[in-house]
A and B are shown apart, each in its own frame.
Chain A
Amino acid sequence: MLVDWLSLGSIYALLAVGFVIIFKSTQVLNFAHGALAALGAFLVASMATILQIPGRWMGSAPVWLKWTSSALVALAAAALIGLILERLFIRPMLGEGLFSVAIVTLGLDIVIRTVSNDFMGTNPRPLGFPGGTASLDLGWVVIPWNVVVSVIVTLVAVVLIATFFLSRTGVAMRATAFDQEAARAQGINVGRIFSLAWAIGSVMAAVAGIFLSVFPRRSTGVDTATAFLAFAAFPAIILGGLDSIVGAVVGGYAIGLAQAAVTEFLSNNPSFAFLGSGFGGVVPYVLMLLVLLIKPYGLFGTEEIRRV
């Protein structure tokens, strides 16, 4: 169960962080985030196993190095795609209401999924994640290395991003999120800030997509259901509060824990079988509804300290 918790939690946390970055800096609710995650995973699969870029030129370099290089190339491609999408579909909506832009991202979600599903076909594409079966044996528990890696990657990503938001550019990004017109009045190039946020957000989605394709169903790779699975990160986002990075991480692991615990409980208690075998997957949404009823700003979201 610990393993299920950590792997689910990392995925939800990474997805939530990427979503929050885009929302925090551009006030766009990006409903295409799950699709971007799946697309990112597909890019990794393509680079690592199908096209073997840049591995094919790396001779006898170790497998993990080849794979990591491919992943980096794929992430760069994901960043580029984020930039292009923002430029083509989000930028023209600058200044429009939250709702209309959200509708545009819903449209994007469908388009990205349709296009990448076409490329992917029906069979899962393996990502060729190295060290697939090796585990870390702590004595009292055995954790697969890829789960350990996912937790480390999540925590490192969060620290990097939190640090980034304290940097000059990060401050400019937060200023833009808080008051776009006032940010422009300071000479901040809001368009560039948007590009940056979408590039970072897309990379985070792709990183989440990698783990998403490896863990939840002990699956063999990215396929047409991956984007759908990513939707389960929304409860984590809502729980943490839309605009808090820390909230995204806490929310991610909390939802992951709840889902893993309920699934475990159901498999040990056949008398609850009437709930159905997939009930664990419903748990995040039940929690989301509860949070929305009790604390609509989430655990860490700001309740607005707008202009006084």
Chain B
Amino acid sequence: MLAVENLEVVYNDVVLVLRGISLEVPDGSVVALLGANGAGKTTTLRAITGLLDIHEGEVTKGRVTWNGENITDLDPSRRVGLGISQVMETRRIFGEMTVDENLTAGGYVRGGDTVIRDKVYSLFPQLEERRRSVAGYLSGGEQQMLAIGRAMMQQPDLLILDEPSLGLAPRLVQEVRDIIAEINEQGTSVLLIEQNAMMALSIAHHGYIMETGKLVMDGKPEKLLADDDVREFYLGIGGEGDGGRRSFRDVKHYKRRKRWLS
């Protein structure tokens, strides 16, 4: 189980971006982390996977644990070794290399990999057809599949995806969603970071909603989907005659949960 406890992150020693985030991803589940642009979703991902340093970011408070072990200061490659993999925002495939080589790079930490590679290709048959193509010339959808496949080469226990639906046509969004559901069915826990709340909540077991560095709400997808404010802000439904609302904070009846704060 992944647990993020009361996490604070500061960029460049001054910009406080996460202000006490607590969330957990139980084994075998799909958890959605929703939030608007700049809420701090990617920052949360970086803190979990250890990539804050190149962005001049630092965890100043709280911790990240994985199966009870504190991994807050662990090297990124060690975290991948422990079973936490990620699909970065905007895919970040290795554009000058072939599809096959992208998978090789993905599986590098795991050593010999033909069996895993076959499994990944069975998940993405259209990638196998193009295994010798240069990855930079794949379509956006194919590149997203490749980014997911590359991470799956690490045989993760937990896969974190940062906005995998970004820039994809609705049909492809469905396809990505189905792939994520299948990956989960095969035993990998998923933390799904999304702005597309409908897509994420349709497969999540639990959802968190984040706003300017804080979690403002969490619960079962049914509950979140039924909530008027979620409907208004993330699904664009309802909210007539109330155009003045800018954020959850302004909503009187929202219930903030601070489960880890004590």
**Cross-chain contact of B77 among A95, A174, A189, A308 (Cβ < 8 A):** A189
B76 contacts across to A, CB distance below 8 A: 184-185, 187
Stretch at the interface among B99-107, B168-176, B177-185: B99-107
When chains A and B are docked, how far (Å) is the Cα of A95 from the Cα of B55?
9
When chains A and B are docked, how far (Å) is the Cα of A223 from the Cα of B78?
46
**Cross-chain contact of B154 among A174, A178, A182, A186 (Cβ < 8 A):** A186
Given the known A-B contacts A186-B80, A188-B109, A308-B136, are A174 and B49 also in contact in the complex, defined by CB atoms under 8 Å? no
Best-surrounded residue of B77, B85, B93, B143 (most CB of chain A within 10 A):
B77
Q: Is the interface of B mostly helix, strand, loop or mixed?
A: helix
B249 to chain A, nearest CB (A): 33
A185 near B49 with CB under 8 A, answer yes
A188 near B77 with CB under 8 A, answer yes
Q: Tell me whether B51 is interfacial, beta carbon within 8 Å.
A: yes
A162 to chain B, nearest CB (A): 14
When chains A and B are docked, how far (Å) is the Cα of A186 from the Cα of B87?
9
B94 contacts across to A, CB distance below 8 A: 174-175, 178-179, 182
Q: Tell me whether A217 is interfacial, beta carbon within 8 Å.
A: no
B136 contacts across to A, CB distance below 8 A: 305-308
B238 contacts across to A, CB distance below 8 A: none
B58 to chain A, nearest CB (A): 14
**Cross-chain contact of B109 among A95, A186, A308 (Cβ < 8 A):** A186
A178 contacts across to B, CB distance below 8 A: 94-97
Given the known A-B contacts A186-B105, A187-B80, are A305 and B92 also in contact in the complex, defined by CB atoms under 8 Å? no
Q: Tell me whether A172 is interfacial, beta carbon within 8 Å.
A: yes
**Cross-chain contact of A183 among B49, B85, B105 (Cβ < 8 A):** B105
B51 near A186 with CB under 8 A, answer no
A183 to chain B, nearest CB (A): 7
**Cross-chain contact of A187 among B81, B90, B137, B143 (Cβ < 8 A):** B81
CB pairs A–B below 8 angstroms (12 shown): A178-B94, A180-B54, A184-B51, A184-B54, A185-B86, A185-B88, A185-B92, A189-B77, A305-B96, A307-B91, A308-B137, A308-B143
Please give me the 9 A-B residue pairs with the lowest Cβ-Cβ distance, nearest first: A187-B80, A187-B109, A175-B105, A305-B136, A182-B92, A187-B77, A172-B108, A171-B104, A189-B77
